[in-house]
Structure 1
Amino acid sequence: MMLLLLSSKWIGFSLMASGVAGMLLYKVNLPPTISIWDKIGDLMANSVWNTLNSWALTALPLFILMGEILYRTAISTRLLNGLVPWLANVPGRLYHINVVACSLFAAVSGSSAATTATVGKITLDELTRRGYHKSLAIGSLAGAGTLGFLIPPSLIMIIYGVLADASIGQLFIAGIAPGIMLACMYSLYIALRARLEPGCVPDRREEYTWADRIAALRDLGPVFLLILLVLGGIYAGLTTPTEAAAIGVVGALGLALYFRNLTLRNLRAALLSAVKTSAMICFIIAGAAFLSQVVGFVGIARALSSFIASLDLSPYTLIFVLGLMYLFLGMILDGISIVVMTLPIVLPIVQSAGFETLWFGIFVVFMVELSQITPPVGFSIFVIQHIAREDVQTILKATFPFFCIMVFMVVLVTAFPDIVFFLPERMM
């Protein structure tokens, strides 16, 4: 599988080809009337159909389409204009815009890449123009941009829920508290950094009255309304994630019309991009489902589980080892690939160690977030490099403090799992 991936083959093809190779390499006992190729065909057809024929999975292309529509409208500019009067007097001032704007946009887009690109295109040039240090602006954007995976709706949570047979609604709710805590830690670091290094914040202070702040709510109101439409129904138990995604698409179209930014060209670009992204993700999921069937059929998962069990690792040592594994995979693979490739093998081991599927889902999301800012394949790093026009080394240096904050948050969630379970236990 690694050989195929390193040779630049499609990820979905690499997963399927690895499954076929696994069936051919391992000795599989079959009746004389059934050839190995017949069995491979049956496994592939069943696994692909059973995985993709999922009502929950229909939320995926809808959330992608919603994010694409918002990405091509003026919502990010409105978001910036609405936040400036509220953050101008906070320690660290407009650096916090990256954190708050990414948190809000993550709550309506579901994509880390879309969040980073949309917010970054507006904030980086604006902050630099106003005299803020570009390094801290880049770091805060890289860290906060990953919140698109943790703050619901999240594409990674949808994929995990489908593959792990977990409640996507519960995963969404479980991600809220850790997501807010992580955003607050980012803002706390920015405030401390501004206090310790006064030079990173420009001397010129912009003054805003309460009238200016109230007026800014006209730009923030539509965004909050869309968040309420998308997530309110799920948390109230009125809609499924798929229904909420459909409502979100309609809401995004309504916002685009409200801001008078919806053109046939924008809509066509959003639809085409959503189709391409959805097809790519579904191909990866199909390949992972087939590989998962092969792993179970030839006994790899069972043997690996037995081997790890024989090591007599404590539960937390197991999580530590898995965390290191995910960090390594994050250096060479994108987040979606990490989830679909590892889950069939890792999940049974984690469950046998006594960890809840819901908690492990949030843990995996954190590790995927880390992979977004881990060299050399950190996707957010490439997005920021394109926007900021800086070399990778400079971006990594700026991002490192926020990487460490995220690692600390992973430790915190592992040591205190009630952070994850607090809201689901009270809302579902």
Structure 2
Amino acid sequence: MMEKIKNREAEIAVIGLGYIGLPTAIMFASVGFNVIGYEIRSEVVRRINNGNSHIIEPEINSLLKNVVEKGMLRATSNPEEIREKDAYLICVQTPLRKDKTPNLRYLEDAVKIVASVMKKGSLVIIESTVPPMTTVRMAELIEKLNGLKAGKDFYMVHAPERVMPGRIFKELVYNSRILGGITPESADLAEILYRSFVKGQIFKTDSTTSEMVKLMENTFRDVNIALANEFAFLAHQYGIDVFRAIELANTHPRVKIHTPGIGVGGHCLPKDPYLLLAPAKEDFGLIQKAREINEDMPLMAKDLLFEAFKLINLPPEEAIVVVLGLAYKGNSDDTRNSPAYAFIEAVQDDVGEIRSYDPYVSGTHESIEEALTGADAVVIATDHNEFKILSWEGLGKLMRNRILIDGRHLIEEPPKGFIFKGIGRGEY
């Protein structure tokens, strides 16, 4: 097995061809491995096999087309076509239920498929973000289903992704990787596999440590963003600009305060703290409180909007509100857990109409001009580059009333003629 991997003769199956699975499959195919991707969405399979990506990411279409045309990557919805592969990479979602507990149904379904088709000696890698001790439990599930023994008859590893949308291919290559094996031999095999394209450092550990490292990384960021958001609340009470205060505080050599805003979105940060806490036997207040603060930030934007309504005596139920940006981060089409939707949900029953415009997301207005015509208020929810260079003087002429709520600190100087309020920008 080790020699097959070293010689790029190992056959790889990637389960789940989403934001992580597809780029990962492309990377392995681009360095010479024969890769087949398993995906239950037939339209995604069709597009990939035609060399067209279903996700937006720099370089992805040219890279995908190259490996598909060379016959190094293809997709299927038939589990029989991934039978007896040398390595299986599981890249499926691990969402939360409504009660904030982990929903591992997709992972368990993927593991069951792998257990039904894998061969003795296969390497099984979970790239999905999971609660601590999940990889060990999935290894036990495989043992139960097919009788193979973990560490003896097959190898299993947790190898969490550590990439950011918009930089995925660069970070797949240059970011460091954590490989957590259920046995040292499992981690050794995974290291050889990933070293085929990873130029960053590779650190080997056990699977539970690997799971916790991934969750700690994102929980650290989430807690620190919550602190910045708490500073924003205080800045409103004290009537100061929190961004200027943060800029000055960060001149201290040991201080690096994060950026406050309308909320935290994406696949990882809103979820991973809950995954970290899920198996814990005790309550941990700091992590939980940070999550609550960040989840409440869209409500702060709502409060700013309704304060602006009062200033012009506009009944909320008559107001037309435009949300600029539905993606959770700038220059991306990724809307997973976007605070823009949380904001819309918070205000939709209280205002007359909600419109949206996002140049990266389908289903919104065709142009910003169309969205703003006759509107009363604009709420900036995403930091797209396009929104940083807007001419508000001209756009304001299209509006019935001119209210501007900045949830992403894109407006340096409030435009003339607008009632302007921004998160962390002064009186609340």
Common fold: TM-score over 0.5: no
What TM-score results when the alignment is normalised by the length of structure 1? 0.27
Which of structures 1 and 2 has the bigger CA Rg? 2
The answer to which structure, 1 or 2, has the higher relative contact order (CA under 8 A, 6+ apart) is: 1
Q: Give the structure with the larger helix fraction.
A: 1
What TM-score results when the alignment is normalised by the length of structure 2? 0.27
